[in-house]
Structure formats: structure tokens, C-alpha cells
Amino acid sequence: MRRILVVGLSIALVYLVYTGSLSVSEALISLVVGFAVASLIGGELVVDESKLSLKRFIEAVKYAFKYFTIIEYQAHYQVVKAILSRNPGLKPAIVEVPYDVNSEIAIVTIANSITNTPGTVVVDVDEEKKRFYVHWIFAEAFEGEGARKGVSAEFEEWAKRIFD
Amino acid sequence: MKKQLEDIGLVLSILLGVLLTYYLVRANIVSLTYGNIPLANLYLLSVPDPSSPFTSRSPEVVTSVVWDQRGYDTYFETSVLFLAIIGVLYAAGSSSLVEKGSLIATVIPRVITKLLFPVIIAVAISVALHGHLTPGGGFQGGSIFAVAPYMYLLIYGRSRLEGKGFRSNLLLFMRSLAVVLISLVGSIVLAIGFLTGVEAFLFQNQPKPPFSPIGFPAYIQLPWGGIFLFSGTLMILNVLEFTAVSTGFTLALIVIDSIAGGRE
């Protein structure tokens, strides 16, 4: 029941933001739309209801803030420096990065965090062996803990705290 | 036997509709033209007339309006349809994304599809409901809506989409219902005019004082103050059009997928 409430309110928020209006009638319509769609897909979106908590939500907000400011800045800076420098020091390779989270949404959070920072792109996932295959333009290690440390260690920590 | 009865019923109802229209027009109960309307006259006189500054040098006024007077608009309509078809062909053609038979697509498209599904539907409904206020409308909203079940179909297969209520016969029913209701809304004012003996038009929205005194209300007063503007038939028809287009496109995509041999 709680998942329908959370998903319904989130969809209502999406509706209101897209519409760009805050009148009473719009708010009522947004709630109708939100809960109708939530009853259709809510059960699939929130797999484990017991994991819905305010603490995890606050962690997610903190991660979003840090990701879109500090982490993105650092990754962009590295790539911009390589583009402008006479000796960019590139070492492109596809590396095997292990991960240790269980829920699907956590895996996707890590994968999208890797892809969204310049310099690294996830090209494939092996869900049985729990490995990402990542194209990395400054490859420091090709597999194992070394690759995890260079590519996804911080994302994984956050993803665990938020979703696992 | 039942099938034959259905066929005969269909033919009879079409015949009846044609005869009724013929009778109404011939008996001067409804007329297909209405007096001297300046805008219609402007187009009808200036488009075929080579000496007019607005000429298209064509006796076909509708085509001239579509490709000349509003050609820029038509260009983008065509582009939108073209891009939509390219998108569908690309998604259906990339068989590496969806392998036939076994469980497919990696966790990334599976989760992203689940996340985008409600967002696409919320945006589609907003576009449809505000068609009388902002760019968009029933057709545009319905086309956006169809993306959500189509993504779901490609990633999860037909049977799980049907489990969500997107069943062929239900979609067909909703589509037919919406089209019937559109024609009903379009003829309500004409019917009232006919019964009360006032002049009225097919698909009339607001009253047209010199010609017809009746029409749809444009807004309702809300109990908590303010008004809710729905512009008469515009919002009603947009919602019905949205239903017809979204279910129609979804049905078409399901049928295409089953013919092209997509997953169950």
C-alpha cells in the first residue's frame, strides 16, 4: 500500500512539474493521474516495500547533489585537461569492473553513474558474474579491485546506502 | 450465420447514415454551406485567382492551404511522422536489444523502461489535457502515450503487457467507443438546435450570435473560487481523441510486433 502512495505522489509531482501550474484543479488532476498510473506499475517499480524510508531518500538527495557538482566536475576536468594538453596520456581499454550490490535498481544506478561521467562508459553487464564491462580512457587496471577503485567504488557505496 | 448478420448490419447502418444525411440536406433541415462567411470567401476567391496577391495558382483550396498558406506547419507534421516511423523501425529492427525466445535485454533497459513508463504517461496526459491552452492536444498526447506500452512490449514481451490490461479487444473497444463519442459530442448542439428549432451546426462549439444562439459552455465556476476553462468541446474532444489515438497506436504496435515475430 505504501508503495502506491510513494509512486503515486512522485508521478503527480512529475505531472505538475511538466505542466508548470499549481492551481487546485491541476493538483487534483495530478493526483488522479498519479495514483491511476501507480496502480498500473507501482508494484514493479518498488520491489521491496520495507526499503522505502526517509533516511534512504535523504541519502539519495545528498548523492544527487554531490554527483552533479563535485563528481561531475572532477570527471569533466580530467577529460578537458586531456583534450587541451599536448600529451594527453590516454590509455583507452575495456575493463572488467566487479560490483557487489543485489537489487536491480542499485545496479542501474551504478551503471548510469559510470556512463554519465565523461571518460567512462558501461558497454555491457554480466548479471550472473556480477561484472560491468566499461570503456575507460585512462585505464589504470583491467579487472578486479583496481578497476573497481578507479571506476565505481564511490558510486557503489552510495548505491548500497540508497537502495540495497 | 452470426458473422453474416454482422456484415448485413454494418452495410445497413452505413446505408442508413448516407440516406439520413441525404434527406436532412435535401429537406433543408441542415445545410452544408452557410451564407456569406468572410474567411471562407477570402480563401475560395483568392487562392485560385492568378491576379490575387495570395494566389496559389490552384483550384484545389484545401491542398493550397495545407502546402502554401500553412506549408511550414505541414513540413513539421511530416517530419514528426517520419521521425516516429524511423524510431519504431530502429527499435523493432535492433534484434540484439531483444533476442527472440530467451530472456533478453540486460538489467539496464529493464529498469529504465519501468522508470520511464509512468513518466511518459504523465507527460502524455498533460499534453492532451492542456491542448486548449498550450501547444499539443489529443493526437500529440496519444502519440506520446503509445511510446510507453511499446517500450514495455519490446523489453518484457506481449504477455506481460497484456497482464497490465493492454489487451487487443479492450484496446479496440476503447478506440471504437472514443470515436463514437467524438461523433456524439460533435452532433449534440445540432441535435438540440433541431429539437428546439434554432439554427445550429455540426461540430459547433461556442454560440455564434448572428447565426446560432446555442453552444457548449466554455468554463465552470469552481467551488473554491476561480474558473476551470475547458473551452467547450475542445477539451472534451481532446480527451476522446487522446483515448482513440493512444489505444489505436498501441493496438497497431502490438499487431506489428506479433507479425514481426516478437516475444510472447
| ipTM for this prediction | 0.90
Residue A10: predicted pLDDT: 94
pLDDT for B167-220, tens place per residue? Answer: 999 999 999 999 999 999 999 998 999 899 888 888 889 998 888 889 998 988
At a CB cut-off of 8 Å and minimum separation 6, what does B227 contact? B219, B220, B221
Residue B32: predicted pLDDT: 64
What HEC string does B52-109 produce? CCCCCCCCCHHHHHHHHHCHHHHHHHHHHHHHHHHHHHHHHHCCCCCCCCCCCCCHHH
The answer to whether the CB atoms of B108 and A127 lie below 8 A apart is no
Q: How confident is the model at residue A158 (pLDDT cuts 50, 70, 90)?
A: very high
The answer to whether the CB atoms of B226 and A108 lie below 8 A apart is no
Chain A positions touching B123 (Cβ under 8 A) are: 14-15, 18
Cell of B163: 497482464
pLDDT for A56-73, tens place per residue? Answer: 999 999 999 999 999 999
Distance from CA of A87 to the nearest CA of B (A): 35
The answer to whether residue A32 scores a pLDDT higher than 90 is: yes
Q: Number of A:B CB contacts under 8 A? A: 67
**Given A25, A33, A124, which is nearest B122 (Cβ)?**
A33
Chain B positions touching A25 (Cβ under 8 A) are: 222, 226, 228
Residue B101: predicted pLDDT: 44
pLDDT < 70 stretches in chain B: 30-36, 93-104, 261-264
Residue B24: predicted pLDDT: 82
Residue B119: predicted pLDDT: 96
> So where are chain B's domains?
1-32, 38-69, 70-259
Q: With contact defined as beta carbons under 8 Å apart, do B128 and B140 qualify? A: yes
Among residues B256, B255, B244, B242, the alpha carbon closest in space to that of B168 is found at B255
Q: Is B208 on the interface with A (CB under 8 A)?
A: no
Q: Which H or E run contains B183?
A: helix B168-196
Chain A positions touching B224 (Cβ under 8 A) are: 24
Residue B88: predicted pLDDT: 78
pLDDT for A109-128, tens place per residue? Answer: 999 999 999 999 999 999 99
Averaged pLDDT for residues A16-27: 91
Residue A61: predicted pLDDT: 96
Q: Which H or E run contains A93?
A: strand A93-98
Residue A129: predicted pLDDT: 92
> So where are chain A's domains?
2-51, 54-163
The answer to whether the CB atoms of B126 and A7 lie below 8 A apart is no
Among residues A90, A155, A146, A145, the alpha carbon closest in space to that of A122 is found at A155
Q: How confident is the model at residue A97 (pLDDT cuts 50, 70, 90)?
A: very high
B42-81 residues touching A, CB cutoff 8 A: none
Residue B124: predicted pLDDT: 96
